[in-house]
Amino acid sequence: MMTKKPDTPVAIPAANRFSRAARKKPILDPQRPSWATLLMFLLPAVALLIVFRLTPIGISIGGSFTSQSLLGETAFDGLGNYKELFSDPSFWNSVYVTLLFNVIINPLQIFVAFIMALLVFAPGRFLTFFRVSFFLPMTMSTALVAVMWNLLFDPNLGLVNSILAHTSMGRQGFFFDEDQALGSMIWISTWKGAGYYMIFLLAGLFRISEELYEAAHVDGASSWQQLRFITLPQMKRTFLFVFVADTTVNLLFFAPVFIITRGGPNGATDTLMYRAYESSFTFVDWGRALSLSCILLALVAIVACAQMLFFKPGEGE
Amino acid sequence: MKHIKHITLAMAASMFVAGAATADDIELSTIGLSFSDGALAGLLSDAAATTDGITVTSEQLPFGQLFSAIEVRLQARNENPDLFFVDGPMTASYTMRGHLTALDDILPDASEIYTSAALQQGMVAGKLMSVPIESSTVVMLVNNSLFEAAGIEAPTNDPADRWTWEEVLAAGKTISELDESTWGFNFHYSDSPYMALVMPQSNGATLIGEDGVTATGYVDSPKFVEAMSTYAELYNTGIAPAGMYDYSLALELFLNGKVGMFAGVVSDAIAAEGRDGLDFTVAPMPYFEGGTPVTPTGSWHVGINPRTEHPEEAAKLVQALASPEFISAYFDKRANPPVLTEAWDSMSEKLDTPLWTLARYEIQNTAMARPSIGGWLEYDSILRNALREIQSGSDVAERLSAAAVEMNRELKKYAK
């Protein structure tokens, strides 16, 4: 005869709590852990999340509704910071630049990363050399990359222009040219970042079962058909992660703008992140800086949610 | 046994040295500008050693990061740092935001001991808010070889024969045509208002309204625009290398003999003296015909955080930083014009050269400081962006007009 399991954990009388029998009782019943047990395990992570993530976000949101006097006195300002931002044409230019930058760089960077991943996925000679070479730019600091490409693209003494001067293209302005500055930023960011995302995409490629390709091969599927009907659908989860991570990083793109162009020429690289920095540390306007941070936060959240909906894996993927 | 003896002696010696900074010493924290050899920490420690019971921890940051770092610390509005470096024109900004202590009681004889140009940058509304420790002036370094190759007579170092900007443009154009990698002129800090503002100042333009917050009508005035059109001509016609915002590269270009005329600070001339094969002389900064000779000047100061927990010790350290001994030691590490009037005489052995004679003349006769306004940081940053864009070919009048509107918006918080 089967005995029914009690719905609640058996309470151990206090007197017997340290008895041999009580000690044998597992602390955590894997099938019905108590709330206290769950809390015990979750608390450290939740506490860290609250202290280091949610509290700063809360402070930023609260601070965006305040303004500071020159002497540091904070006063509630309602939507004043937001109203001022929304009526400023240069703010809308920053929104445009940030979105344009992301619309171009995210697909481009992931496309390049995926091509690189495919190239180093197939067995071949010097595979490790190419994998390391593609990943190497990622190991350099962003500041160093910015300085290096700034020197290479220098309009007067840069190596790239020294070469271009001998071609029909002639010298180019790159960061110095209003029409080329954002493109140059996209170039250095892709140069540095594509290898990083290649690693995730490569891991995704390794996850796909070899049997699927073998079956497709037996059925006479071409390489393109294998890519279209096996690789891409099976990579959806990996693409989702890479897209969300890449977009988040690129929406917060900052260091090369700060180091090379400071938002110029003529606002061509004036991203929201740079504007937030400038508002806080140059213009000493913390309320506006926090409002810009909140707008960026909202933008990141909206874009990430949209990407998750768009790339949501279907049944069996 | 002998080794043990040596080790014991070494330990005793190190304990003795360590004992120089006792547990009772008050430690003052400072943030300052980093020198290439990291010498500032030693200079401050030496100054602290002349006082009773004070030691110094020195955080040194490059110019590009110093202002942001100081902003972050000061905005926390706590006792850290006890003292900090102040760029002269920033004195008013820090004062208006309650980040500086008045120093009149600490240095009652300041008006007698400091040079006028340096002292003025530390004064706000008649009060001494920061003490100068070094000042600067700009001279024009002239590459004689390039002038000779271009067949032009080079300017001399006589202020009476000061060149006009029109002469600089003409000579610069000829020199820049010598070959593709040679330029006629360059400013060391080409995107910095510190150097470029000398042009509208020389052309008679006023840099900001009397209220210190109105830029429209000043930054975009006809005289300002006219002067900056010459600046644009320098960079847009290939006379000067546009887009060279790496200051060490700009200096290196002159030191390598690639620039005919180079507006640089005194320490640039000293760097040039050490470069083999470079035939150069110093000349006074150019001015606009019909205008006034003006040279840029600036100074680095030290101020006391009003929230320091050690105001007395901070005051003692400031007094030590105002001593001739400190100024002389500082000069040996960074050869910029001294801020103590008497140092020009007491250090005459070091300063009796054509370079220092010219520098002294300029400081006494033509030096014009940047405006002392609460929003200098904003003014400087906005104008710097405008200068960069003028170099890249923007319309001068339109860009300055846009800069003025931006300045109005950012400076209004300083309106009284």
Question: What percent of chain A lies above the pLDDT cut of 70?
Answer: 89
A89, A212, A232, A237, A312 from A316: Cα distances, Å? 48, 13, 14, 12, 12
pLDDT at position A25 is: 56
B71 vs A contacts (CB less than 8 Å): 280-281, 284
pLDDT at position B7 is: 52
A43: phi then psi, degrees, rounded to nearest 5: -55, -50
The answer to whether A282 faces chain B, any CB pair under 8 Å, is yes
What is the model's pTM? 0.83
How far does B96 lie from chain A, in Å, by closest CA? 7
Q: What digits encode the pLDDT tens for the residues B183-209?
A: 999 999 999 999 999 999 999 999 999
Q: Is B280 helix (H, G, I), strand (E, B) or coil?
A: strand
Q: What number is the average pLDDT over the span B88-103?
A: 93
The answer on B185 and B105 residing in a single domain is no
B378 vs A contacts (CB less than 8 Å): 282-284
Chain B residue set in contact with A, beta carbons under 8 Å: 67-68, 71-72, 75, 77, 96-98, 180-181, 241-244, 246, 249, 253, 374, 377-378, 381, 384-385, 388-389, 392, 394, 406, 409-410, 413-414
Residues 6+ apart with CB under 8 A from B231: B196, B199, B387, B390, B396
pLDDT at position A51 is: 93
A90 vs B contacts (CB less than 8 Å): 406
Nearest CA in chain A to B99: A71
A67: phi then psi, degrees, rounded to nearest 5: -135, 155
Asked whether residue B13 carries a pLDDT value surpassing 60, the answer given is: no
The answer to whether A77 faces chain B, any CB pair under 8 Å, is no
Question: What percent of chain B lies above the pLDDT cut of 90?
Answer: 65
pLDDT at position A121 is: 87
Overall domain count for chain B: 2
CA A189-A193-A199 angle, 5° bins: 170
Q: Which helix (H) or strand (E) holds A251?
A: helix A236-251
The answer to whether A270 faces chain B, any CB pair under 8 Å, is no
From the CB of residue B118, how many other CB atoms can be counted at a distance below 10 Å? Answer: 28
Q: Domain end: B334, B352, B368, which one?
A: B368
Q: What number is the average pLDDT over the span A31-56?
A: 89
pLDDT band at residue A1 under the 50/70/90 scheme: very low
A262 vs B contacts (CB less than 8 Å): 384-385, 388
The answer on B205 and B131 residing in a single domain is no
The answer on B166 and B141 residing in a single domain is yes
pLDDT at position A5 is: 46
Nearest CA in chain A to B414: A70
B409 vs A contacts (CB less than 8 Å): 88
Asked whether residue A299 carries a pLDDT value surpassing 90, the answer given is: yes
pLDDT at position B181 is: 87
pLDDT at position B138 is: 94
Of A255, A272, A223, nearest to A96 (Cα)?
Answer: A272
A176 vs B contacts (CB less than 8 Å): 242-243, 392
B403 within 8 A of B386, measured Cβ to Cβ: yes
Q: What digits encode the pLDDT tens for the residues A113-159?
A: 999 999 888 777 788 888 888 888 999 999 999 999 999 999 888 89
Asked whether residue B256 carries a pLDDT value surpassing 70, the answer given is: yes
pLDDT band at residue A4 under the 50/70/90 scheme: very low
How far does B57 lie from chain A, in Å, by closest CA? 24
The answer to whether A267 faces chain B, any CB pair under 8 Å, is no
pLDDT at position A16 is: 52
Mutate to test the interface with A, among B186, B388, B390, B411 (most CBs of A within 10 A): B388
CA B163-B179-B265 angle, 5° bins: 40
How far does B125 lie from chain A, in Å, by closest CA? 17
CB contact under 8 Å between B392 and A154, yes or no, is: no
Asked whether residue B168 carries a pLDDT value surpassing 80, the answer given is: yes
B384 vs A contacts (CB less than 8 Å): 262
Supply the CATH classification number for the domain A80-310: 1.10.3720.10
CB contact under 8 Å between B242 and A262, yes or no, is: no
Q: One-letter amino acid identity for B356?
A: W
- State both tokens at A84: 């001022």
Q: What number is the average pLDDT over the span B27-47?
A: 85
pLDDT band at residue B63 under the 50/70/90 scheme: confident
Q: Which helix (H) or strand (E) holds B135?
A: strand B131-143
**Peptide bond before residue A265 is cis, with ω within 30 degrees of 0:** yes
The answer to whether A317 faces chain B, any CB pair under 8 Å, is no
A198 within 8 A of A221, measured Cβ to Cβ: no
How far does B42 lie from chain A, in Å, by closest CA? 29
A210, A248, B71, B179, B405 from A307: Cα distances, Å? 28, 11, 38, 54, 39
pLDDT at position B4 is: 53
Average per-residue pLDDT for chain B: 89
Which residues are registered as beta bridge partners of B54?
A: B26
Q: Which residue has the higher pLDDT, B19 or A185?
A: A185
Query: For residues B288 and B227, what is the distance between their CA atoms, to the nearest angstrom?
Result: 8
Query: For residues B34 and A278, what is the distance between their CA atoms, to the nearest angstrom?
Result: 23
CB contact under 8 Å between A90 and B71, yes or no, is: no
Q: What digits encode the pLDDT tens for the residues B122-143?
A: 999 999 999 999 999 999 999 9
Asked whether residue A194 carries a pLDDT value surpassing 80, the answer given is: yes
How far does B174 lie from chain A, in Å, by closest CA? 18
- Could you list the residue range(s) of the whole structural domain that residue B307 is in? 2-135+298-368
The answer on B402 and B276 residing in a single domain is yes
CB contact under 8 Å between A264 and B392, yes or no, is: yes
- State both tokens at B29: 């924290």
pLDDT at position A68 is: 86
Q: What number is the average pLDDT over the span B366-381?
A: 91
The answer on B271 and B213 residing in a single domain is yes
The answer on B65 and B187 residing in a single domain is no
Query: For residues A297 and A248, what is the distance between their CA atoms, to the nearest angstrom?
Result: 9
The answer to whether A1 faces chain B, any CB pair under 8 Å, is no
The answer on B396 and B265 residing in a single domain is yes
Q: Which residue has the higher pLDDT, B393 or B7?
A: B393
pLDDT band at residue B16 under the 50/70/90 scheme: very low
Asked whether residue A206 carries a pLDDT value surpassing 80, the answer given is: yes
Query: For residues B213 and B413, what is the distance between their CA atoms, to the nearest angstrom?
Result: 8
How far does A155 lie from chain B, in Å, by closest CA? 7
ipTM of the complex: 0.78
The answer to whether A246 faces chain B, any CB pair under 8 Å, is no
The answer on B398 and B260 residing in a single domain is yes
pLDDT at position B19 is: 42
Question: Nearest CB to A266: which of B378, B394, B414?
Answer: B394
Nearest CA in chain B to A90: B406
H/E/C letters for each residue in A168-190? Answer: CCCCCCHHHCCCCHHHHHHHHHH
Q: What is the CATH number of the domain that holds B257?
A: 3.40.190.10
Q: Is A304 helix (H, G, I), strand (E, B) or coil?
A: helix
Query: For residues B101 and B90, what is the distance between their CA atoms, to the nearest angstrom?
Result: 14
Asked whether residue A66 carries a pLDDT value surpassing 60, the answer given is: yes
The answer to whether A80 faces chain B, any CB pair under 8 Å, is no
CB contact under 8 Å between A156 and B243, yes or no, is: yes
A200 within 8 A of A238, measured Cβ to Cβ: yes
pLDDT band at residue B257 under the 50/70/90 scheme: very high
pLDDT band at residue A317 under the 50/70/90 scheme: low
Asked whether residue B226 carries a pLDDT value surpassing 50, the answer given is: yes
pLDDT at position B262 is: 97
Mutate to test the interface with A, among B394, B406, B413 (most CBs of A within 10 A): B413
Asked whether residue A9 carries a pLDDT value surpassing 60, the answer given is: no
The answer to whether A72 faces chain B, any CB pair under 8 Å, is yes
Number of A to B CB contacts under 8 A, please give it. 74
Name all contacts of B18-22 with Cβ < 8 Å and 24+ positions apart.
B21/B55, B22/B53
A7-21, A230-244, B188-202, B396-410, range with the lowest pLDDT: A7-21
Q: What digits encode the pLDDT tens for the residues B305-343?
A: 999 999 999 999 999 998 888 988 888 888 888 899 888
B77 vs A contacts (CB less than 8 Å): 72
The answer on B318 and B231 residing in a single domain is no
Nearest CA in chain A to B246: A151
CB contact under 8 Å between B75 and A72, yes or no, is: yes
Q: What number is the average pLDDT over the span A299-316?
A: 82
How far does B3 lie from chain A, in Å, by closest CA? 47
Question: Nearest CB to B98: which of A72, A175, A284?
Answer: A72
Which residues in chain A (87-146) have CB-CB distances under 8 A to chain B?
A: 88, 90
B392 vs A contacts (CB less than 8 Å): 173, 176-178, 264-266
How far does B352 lie from chain A, in Å, by closest CA? 38
- State both tokens at A46: 């939740």
Q: Is A46 helix (H, G, I), strand (E, B) or coil?
A: helix
CB contact under 8 Å between B378 and A281, yes or no, is: no
pLDDT at position B17 is: 42
Enumerate the domain spans of chain A: 80-310
* CB-based burial label for A234 (10 Å; 0-12, 13-18, 19+): middle
pLDDT band at residue A6 under the 50/70/90 scheme: very low
